[in-house]
Structures are given as C-alpha cells and as structure tokens.
Structure 1
Amino acid sequence: MYWNGVVERLNLTAKGSWFIHLTGSILLYFSITTTKNISRNEWILLCGMVGFYGWLINIVIFYIFDLLDSGDSSIGGIPDYFMFIVGPVTIAILFLNRYKSPTKLIRVILFSLLSFLMEYILGKLGFLKLKGWKPIYSIPCYLLVFGVALPWTLKLIRKS
C-alpha cells in the first residue's frame, strides 16, 4: 500500500507526460553529446543557473499567478522536473552551443518557435491546463529569453 502511494506521487501517468519524457531525454542526449563551444564547467554552471530560472518561472506562473497547471496539479512529480529543469536546461545548452553573430536572429526565432510548439503540444495533449494563459503569450517571453537572458547568462559565466 505504501509503495502505491510513492509511485502515485511520482506522477508518471499524467496525461501527456510521455511527450515530456521523450523530448526531455532526446534533448538531454543531444546537449551532452553535441556540445562543442561550451566547456564542461560552463555546461554545469548553465545547468544550475537555467534550472534555477526554470523553477523560479514555475513558481511565479504556476503558483503565484496560477495561470497554468501541469499534470496533476496537486502533485509535483517527475514530469514537472523534466518540464521545468531538464527541458529548459537542454534547450538553452543547445541554443548557446552554436550561438554565433551571423545567425543570432535566426537561432533566436527558431528556438522560440520550437519552444512555443512544444508548449502548444503539451496543451493539446492535456498535460498543460490553461487557466487564463494562452500559448501565444509565451512568444515574447521566448524571444526575450533566447535573445537576451541566455546570451547574458553565458557571458556572465564566461566572465567569472
């Protein structure tokens, strides 16, 4: 009986969680194996900083403003860790890995659209429950994250 409660608390059977686990695992594999322009120390620091940003955004949007719910909203499970830590960290590392001057704008737009598409799919699969938030609101946020926040974070890491 106890272990049934533990497994239930992991929230592994949340609607649409298969998509998060699949994309998170693929992105994690690519972020580890294709990193050329980011050192291992930068990779580790980016994991910590972007993971912190992701969890902070989770707290603000999902709990303080209560604009979205993910999975079973009463349980914070493994899909939530993939969505708020693994996903943002791996996407940020893949984005920053080849962030060069001539292609900056193209990469910002491409990764913003990719992130929007993943958020939209999660909504359609039923994992994200919208409570006043529309996926279109995320586009300016993604543009800001990819255009300003992530390059600034990498610059900060490389300075120290």
Structure 2
Amino acid sequence: MYWNGVLERLDLFAKGSWFIYLIGSILLSLSITTTKNISRREWLLLFGMIGFYGWMANIILFFIFDQMDSGDLSIGGIPDIFMFVIGPAATAILFLNQYNTPTKLIRVIIFFSMLSFLVEYILGKLGFLKLKGWKPVYSIPFYLLLFGIVLPWTLKIIRK
C-alpha cells in the first residue's frame, strides 16, 4: 500500500511522459559525450544554473501565472524534473558547444529555438502539457532571447 502511494506521487507514468524521458535522456547523453568547447567544471556549473533557471520558469509560468500544467496537475514528479531541469540544461550545454562558431551563430540560435519549440509543441499534442491561455508560439521570442543573449551571458559569467 505504501509503495503504491510513493510511485503514484512520483508521477512516473503521466500521459506523454515517455517522450520527455526519451528526449531528456538523449539530450543528457549528448551533452555529456559531445562537450568539446566546455570544460567539465563549466558543464557542472552550467547544468546547475540552467536547471535552476528552468525550475524558476516552471514556478513562474505554471504556478504564479497559471498558464500551463504538466503531467498530473497536483503532483510535481519525475517527468517535471526531466522537462524543467535535465532537458533545458542539456540543451543549453549542446547549444553553447556550438556557440563558438560566429559565422553560423544566427543559424545555431534559430535551430535550437525551433528544436525547443518543436519539443514543447509535441508535449502539448501528447497531452503532457495542458495549455491554459498559453500558445506554443508565445515561446518563440523567449527561446530566441534565451539562446541569443541569456545563455552566452551565463557562459561568460562562468568563465570569469
């Protein structure tokens, strides 16, 4: 009886959570194995900082402004950790590995913004994200700002 309650509270099998597990695992594996322009120390600091940013975005958009819900509405479970900590941090690290090529900078920013938009859109279609007044296209300027300014600025701070 007790363990059923624990497993239920972890929200492991929320609708559409398989996709977030798959994408999060792939992104995390790639971010660990393909770090060429980021040291291990920078990787750890970036992962922690971006994970914190992601969790704060979760609190602001999902709880304070109540624009979306994810998984089970009353439980913050393992899929939420993949969605707000692991996925964004791994994506940011992959982006910053590509960021050192100034000639392709605009293409890289647009590629990662569209990739993030696509994942958000698919999660909505799978039923993991429940939109309440928010539309996925609202996220595009946020992604462009994130990849164009916030992440490079965060890396610059870490390297100082």
- TM-score exceeds 0.5: yes
* Match status 1:81 vs 2:87: no
Paired-residue identity, %: 72
Q: Take 1:20 and 1:49, find their aligned partners in 2: how far apart are those partners?
A: 20
Gaps of 5+ in 1: none
Equivalent residue number for residue 27 of structure 2: 27
* Match status 1:136 vs 2:137: yes
Q: Take 2:129 and 2:98, find their aligned partners in 1: how far apart are those partners?
A: 30
TM-superposition CA deviations, 1:72-112 (whole Å, max 9, x none): 01000000000000000000000001212111110000000
Aligned-residue CA RMSD (Å) = 0.5
Q: Secondary structure at the match of 2:76?
A: coil
* TM-score for both structures, normalised by structure 1: 0.98
Q: Secondary structure at the match of 2:49?
A: helix
Q: Take 1:98 and 1:113, find their aligned partners in 2: how far apart are those partners?
A: 15
Q: Take 2:36 and 2:73, find their aligned partners in 1: how far apart are those partners?
A: 38
Gaps of 5+ in 2: none
Q: Take 2:10 and 2:18, find their aligned partners in 1: how far apart are those partners?
A: 13
Return the letter of the residue paired with 2:113.
S
Q: Take 2:106 and 2:158, find their aligned partners in 1: how far apart are those partners?
A: 22
Q: Secondary structure at the match of 1:76?
A: coil
Q: Take 1:98 and 1:106, find their aligned partners in 2: how far apart are those partners?
A: 10
Q: How does 1:1-160 map to 2 (within 5 A)?
A: 1-99=1-99, 100-159=101-160
* TM-score for both structures, normalised by structure 2: 0.98
Runs of 4+ in 1 over 3 A off after TM superposition: none
Q: Take 2:98 and 2:71, find their aligned partners in 1: how far apart are those partners?
A: 33
Q: Take 2:47 and 2:135, find their aligned partners in 1: how far apart are those partners?
A: 28
